Structures are given as structure tokens and as C-alpha cells.
Amino acid sequence: MAPSHTSTLPLDAESSAALARTGLEYALVDADGDGFPSFLTSVTRGFLGEEPTPEQIETARTALRTRRLTGVFDRAGEQPDAPVATIDSWVSELTVSPGRTTPLWSISAVTVAPTHRRRGIATAMLTGELRTAAAAGYALAGLTVTEATIYGRWGFSPAAWASSVAVDTRRARWTGPTAPGRLDFVPRESLPERLSAVHERLRVRRPGAVPGWDSRWRGIAGLIPEAPDAKKVRAVAYRDPAGVERGILVYTIAEREEYTAHELQVRALFADGDEALAALWRFALEHDLVGKVTAELQPAVPPVQWMVSDRRAVTATLTDHHWLRVLDVPGALASRSYAGELDLVFGIDDALGFAHGSWRVRIDAAGDASVAREETEPDVRMPVGSLASLLLGGVRATELAAAGLVQGAAEHLGAIDGAFAPAAAPLLDIWY
């Protein structure tokens, strides 16, 4: 059983040595210690943000207390105690198929100071995280990315996608269902609890999802210190006819020159059920003085397309969102349930070694997988990133094969397509 607290696991010796060879020190940072303000200052600089205020530092300390914080220090520099690179990680839970979750080594706050870029620091930090996670028994690592060009080299690959949606409300007459429940404005202060309650019910049904956490919800609610637009944040909750709260919409309205065509910007729209979904989208689209509704992190084919008179009033721009890295092939593949039987040998190429080799993947009639090492010639070959992309069923083997990212006979690729078909399209609806 993998440990759930990771901050006490030792630093990876290989990365410590690699960094030491270039005069740098790899060290854990205590969220409650004196080094935390410099750690956070380096993180915000890496993401081009402002220097954090004392209040923001204390808020972040609370939020990051459960994480493993690691810094890289250049002790010969002008600020020897301020890290020149940062990374943090924690244990989360990935939904792999409806109702089934598996531990996920989650990574964030990856920054390298521009003064120290392209010297292999990110490589040392990322490979260090992966070795630490694998040694502790985690089958999967994950992250969300600012650029799609960085993480493939370490075996990460997109496994869940999300759309940015924009709706021209003047073309989008509501044709969807009429929800029987009611909508009410709810106070901002109540949102962290409300968002968490609805999201906890949703995320276990949706492959690709992970749980949120208090400061994520506080951020959406505009309740973190100096949050921009905080006072413009509004929220409505949907209750079903039995009085159970089933959905929540958090939004701001950005004013545009034309006073009847402002933009309603969705900060969160979480719906537990079709009625709540319809009620909240209808509220957004029919809001007076609004000409456009925008929402991030929506399903690849957003359901609102089917709820309006003119489907082309809805545009959805797809992007990769949740990147996964397979560290343990049997552990990762056995975590989910499948749509069909399979018996094939997968040959995985993994330059970092974790998943490398041939694996017999057997999926039984109940949809459960068992995987074991095998010495025979593989039926299909792929780089480790392709395995991560196939895992949740968000892309098919035949599609990856067309790009040369999986190789095998058409019948084998078709069999994988059938078995890996997801019960629901993978989606990650938050950033982490």
C-alpha cells in the first residue's frame, strides 16, 4: 500500500547527485518553516505572478501544508536561501472508470528561474519525482500543463481533454429540457463547502477527474486574499424538487462596450445530474444584458450544444488537459474496468525504464484486467506516453496508430479500441 503522506519520503539520490555535480543543492522545504516565503516567491515568479503578500504567504502555507515541497538552491548566488527551481507533489485520487479510483502522484509548481534555465534542472526534478513515486508504490503520476511541449520527454501524455466553450447567446435560443427544481443565489462565503459537496459526487463518476481541495474552491469563489474580481463573483445553486442541492454555477460578468451584450464568464459549473446541468446552463444563456457566455474545462463535446436552437452558436476549442505518466503497467491497467475482453502482449518503450518491456494484458468477461511480464514478441508496440493516453479511453489505439504512436495489426488495434472504450468521456474539470 503506497503511503498517503509523501513529504517525509527521502529525496531521490540520483537527482541530488546530478544537481550537486553542477553546484546545486536539492532540498525539501517545510511549509511551516522559514524557507516557505522564498519558496512561494520563486513559484509565483515562475508563473509570472506578483510577489506574494504576507497574508497570501500564510494562506498558501495552509493550502500547501499537505504537499511535498522541493527546491533547488544555488548557494553561491545572490540569494542563497531562495530556490532557483521549485516543484511540489501530493497524493490525489484519479477516477479511472465510473466508481473506480486509483492513487495518483500529482505534481505542480514546476518552475526554474530564468537565470538557471536549460541546464537540466527540470529534468532532475521531474525524474526525481517519478523515481520517488515509483519507489513508494504509485502506478501513475499526473499534472496539468501550461505548455504542451515540456512533459512528453519524461513519458507524460494527455489522457483527458477539455474544451473552452463560448456561446453567442443571441443565436442560442433554449431548446433543452425544463428543469423541475429551483435556482437561488447563494453567498460567496458558502461556496467552498457547496462546490466541494457537488464536485465530490461528480468526480467519482468521470474518468480523468481528481478531487478539488479547499483553496481551489476558495479561489473559484474569490475568497483568497487579493483575488482579482472577487466582489464580482456571483453564484446560484440548483435544488431538485425534493430540496437536494444538485448543482452550482459560479460566474462573473465582464462588462463590454455594448451594454446589452456583456460576457458571462463561468468560473465553475458543476451539475450532479441532467436537470441541474440544464437549469444552470439555461440560467447562464438567458441572463439579461449578456451576449456571450464563456466556460473553461468543459467536456470535449459540450452538452449545451444539444440544448440550443443553433448548434453553431456554441464553439468549443479542445485542448489536452490532464497528462498522465504510467510508472507501473500492471497497477495502472488493473485499476480501471473495461468494456470488452482482451488477451494481447503490449510492448512498451520507456527510456526511463519504469514501464519498459513486454506485458501480457488479459481482460476478462467481467471487464477486469490482469497484467504480467512476458518474454514473447509483443502484439502491439508503443512508447510509454501512448499507454497513458489510451488508459482512460479518451483516444483510440487506431487513432494513435495513424500517427505512428501505436504499432500493431489492425485486428489487435481494433480489439484494444473495443476493450478500452470508456463508459464516460474522460474529463478533468479543474486545474492543479
Ligand X SMILES: CC(C)(COP(=O)(O)OP(=O)(O)OC[C@H]1O[C@@H](n2cnc3c(N)ncnc32)[C@H](O)[C@@H]1OP(=O)(O)O)[C@@H](O)C(=O)NCCC(=O)NCCS
Contact between 419 and 339 under an 8 Å Cβ cutoff? The reply is yes
Q: What's the rounded Cα separation, in Å, for the pair 29 and 39? A: 8
Task: Choose one: 104-112, 252-260, 312-320, 412-420; the region binding ligand X (CB under 6 A).
Answer: 104-112
- Distance between terminal CA atoms of the chain? 24
Using CB under 6 A, pick the residue from 6, 97, 106, 111 that binds ligand X: 111
Q: Is 220 annotated as a binding residue?
A: no
Q: Residue 247 interacts with ligand X (CB under 6 A)?
A: no
CB of 150 to ligand X, least distance (A): 5
The grid coordinates of residue 116 equal 538557471
Q: What's the rounded Cα separation, in Å, for the pair 201 and 216? A: 17
Angle between helices 121-135 and 13-21 in degrees, nearest 10: 160
Instruction: Enter the DSSP assignment of 301.
Output: S
Q: What's the rounded Cα separation, in Å, for the pair 405 and 158? A: 13
Pick 123 or 215: Cβ nearer ligand X: 123
Using CB under 6 A, pick the residue from 32, 147, 257, 258 that binds ligand X: 147
**Catalytic positions, please?**
151, 432
Contact between 340 and 396 under an 8 Å Cβ cutoff? The reply is no
Pick 328 or 429: Cβ nearer ligand X: 429
Using CB under 6 A, pick the residue from 18, 64, 94, 110 that binds ligand X: 110
Pick 6 or 127: Cβ nearer ligand X: 127
CA dihedral sign of residues 68, 323, 299, 46: positive
Q: Residue 231 interacts with ligand X (CB under 6 A)?
A: no
Task: Choose one: 142-150, 180-188, 193-201, 349-357; the region binding ligand X (CB under 6 A).
Answer: 142-150
Q: What's the rounded Cα separation, in Å, for the pair 299 and 207? A: 12
Q: Interaction with ligand X in 64-83: which residues (CB under 6 A)?
A: none
| Short-list 87, 47, 50, CA closest to 67 | 87
Contact between 283 and 251 under an 8 Å Cβ cutoff? The reply is no
| Short-list 266, 242, 245, CA closest to 254 | 266
Q: Residue 120 interacts with ligand X (CB under 6 A)?
A: yes
Using CB under 6 A, pick the residue from 54, 118, 376, 377 that binds ligand X: 118
Q: Is 110 annotated as a binding residue?
A: yes
The grid coordinates of residue 74 equal 544555488
Using CB under 6 A, pick the residue from 119, 205, 239, 362 that binds ligand X: 119
CB of 119 to ligand X, least distance (A): 5
Q: Residue 24 interacts with ligand X (CB under 6 A)?
A: no
Q: Is 263 annotated as a binding residue?
A: no
Q: Is the backbone of residue 414 left (phi > 0), alpha (psi -120 to 50) or beta?
A: alpha
Using CB under 6 A, pick the residue from 46, 52, 83, 128 that binds ligand X: 46
Q: Residue 123 interacts with ligand X (CB under 6 A)?
A: yes
Q: Residue 153 interacts with ligand X (CB under 6 A)?
A: yes
CB of 123 to ligand X, least distance (A): 4
Contact between 117 and 110 under an 8 Å Cβ cutoff? The reply is no
Using CB under 6 A, pick the residue from 112, 191, 271, 297 that binds ligand X: 112
Interacting residue ranges for ligand X, rule: CB under 6 A: 46-47, 110-112, 117-123, 145-147, 149-150, 153
Q: Residues annotated in the binding site, as ranges?
A: 110-112, 118-123, 146-147
Q: Residues annotated in the binding site for acetyl-CoA, as ranges?
A: 110-112, 118-123, 146-147
